[in-house]
Structures are given as structure tokens and as C-alpha cells.
Amino acid sequence: MRSANVIIISIEDKFVKNMIIFLRHGQAENNTKKILAGRTPGINLTEQGREQAEQAGEMIKSLNISAIYSSPIDRAMQTAEIVGKHCNVKPISDDRLIELDMGKFTMVPYNEIFEKHGNVFPKFYEGSLEISHNGVESFSEVQKRVFDIVDFVKNEHKDENVVLVTHMDPIKAMIGKVLSLKPEILFQLIVANASLNIFKYDDQNYYLSSINSMNSSRFHETF
């Protein structure tokens, strides 16, 4: 059984600073079809996904967001643009937030992958050679580029609050690094669509403030 999500309902303190808010894109067509879309263009948000993004924007609009960086993938940029309207900030595309390269698994339904390879998701977090042999970007590579942009934000946006719109595994890369999570825990961790995953930082450390923050109207959803 997968672990329960930690959910914080409201974020209201407009005087809080030094926050990096990781936002997963809203529900997209590949999510409903259970397909590994990877970096395939033209995968758009569903209507539900657009509404989720609107709710996320409402939650953070009072936080004095100074910048929004986004994965260039359509579903992420669409989410960033919706949130940006609430915050009066124009999103900036950044490849360091891109979805991982799914290699030979790109646009393959989950059930087909499971039939041929078993459950590949734990193998991804373990760094299995089977994953790299199928052309999939390694989890360590994802962590490296995610921390690169996090360090950039820390240096370029001191005393500011910044949103990073991305995908599940880049967010798990950040959470896993900060909390030193083992592969089996990373596999069990679910980052919900359009959820806010908030980190604070000081000169030396990053601290996890919340996971899967969302509007209470979404509590019934399964991920």
C-alpha cells in the first residue's frame, strides 16, 4: 500500500520569505490514460487539470511571488501560465525542470510496461541498469539538475518566494534529497497533480515545509 499524503490546507502568511514552491502540473491527458508521456509535445491539461491550476494560483497569490520558472513541457507551461495570472508574474521556461526522458517507455501505457518489464518504478529509484538500458534518464541525473536550479533560485532570488512548475519525479528528487529518503519510500511517495510542495531555506540548509498542499475540495481525489 502506498503511503498517505501529507496535506496542508492554507498558506496565508504574506510576510514569509525564502520559499521555493514546487508545483506539479495539473491533471493532463496522459494521467487519465495512464501513459508515460515523458517529453512528448502536445499533451495538454484536462479541464479538471486547468481547474486544479486555478485553485493552486488562488492559494499562493498572496505570497508575493517574484518569479515562476517552468518545465517547457506543454502541461507544465499551461499550469504555470494559469498560476502566473493569479500572481501577476510571467513564467520563464527552464529545461532543468523538464520531465525526465522516458527513453523506450515514452508514450507506452503502464500495463504494457508492466507486462514486459514488471514494475519499473522501484527500479528507477534504485538506479537499476535495466532502466538506463531502456534509455530512461537516471534519478541521480534528475536530482543533479533540480538542485542546480534550486541553488540558482537561492542565489538569484534571496529573500523572495519563487514557484517552480514541474513534474512528479523532479519534485520527488528534491524531497528525497532533503529528507534522505530510501528508494522504497520514494516509490511509495505520490506527488499529486497541481499540489504545492514547499521548501524554506537558510544559508546552509533546505527545509521541507509541506507536501501536497491543495484546496480542501480535492481531498476526495485518488492519485
Q: What is the pLDDT of residue 222?
A: 64
Residue 12 lies in a domain: no
Domain containing residue 92: CATH number = 3.40.50.1240
CB 45 within 8 A of CB 70: no
pLDDT at residue 223, as a whole number: 58
The answer to whether residue 218 is domain-embedded is no
Q: Is the pLDDT of residue 155 over 60?
A: yes
Q: What is the pLDDT of residues 171-207, one digit of tens each?
A: 999 999 999 999 999 999 999 999 999 999 998 899 9
* pLDDT surpasses 80 at 142: yes
Distance, CA of 14 to chain centre: 23
Q: Which of the residue ranges 19-28, 74-83, 115-124, 174-183 would you say has the lowest mean pLDDT?
A: 115-124
- Evaluate whether residue 185 is within a structural domain: yes
Torsion angles phi and psi, residue 27, rounded to 5: -55, 130
Q: What is the pLDDT of residue 209?
A: 94
pLDDT per residue as tens digits for the range 116-132: 999 999 999 999 988 99
| pLDDT score recorded for residue 215 | 87
Report the pLDDT value the prediction gives residue 2, as an integer from 0 to 100: 39
- Burial label, 185 (beta-carbon count in 10 A; 0-12, 13-18, 19+): middle
- For the annotated catalytic residues, the residue numbers are 25, 167
So what's the pLDDT on residue 186? 96
Average pLDDT rounded to a whole number, residues 34-48: 96
Instruction: List the single range of 67-71, 150-154, 202-206 with lowest mean pLDDT.
Output: 202-206
Q: Within 10 A of 164 (CB to CB), how many other CB atoms are there? A: 27
pLDDT interval class at 8 (50, 70, 90):
very low
Total of domains in the chain = 1
Confidence of residue 82 (pLDDT cuts 50, 70, 90): very high
6 falls within a domain: no
- Please indicate, yes or no, if residue 10 is contained in any of the structural domains: no
Look at residue 118 and tell me if it is in a domain. yes
Give the percent of the chain with pLDDT over 70.
Answer: 92
Residue 168 sits in which domain range? 19-213
Position 223 in a domain: no
Domain assignment present for 146: yes
Packing angle between helix 47-60 and helix 74-87, nearest 10 degrees? 40
Average pLDDT over residues 11-30: 84
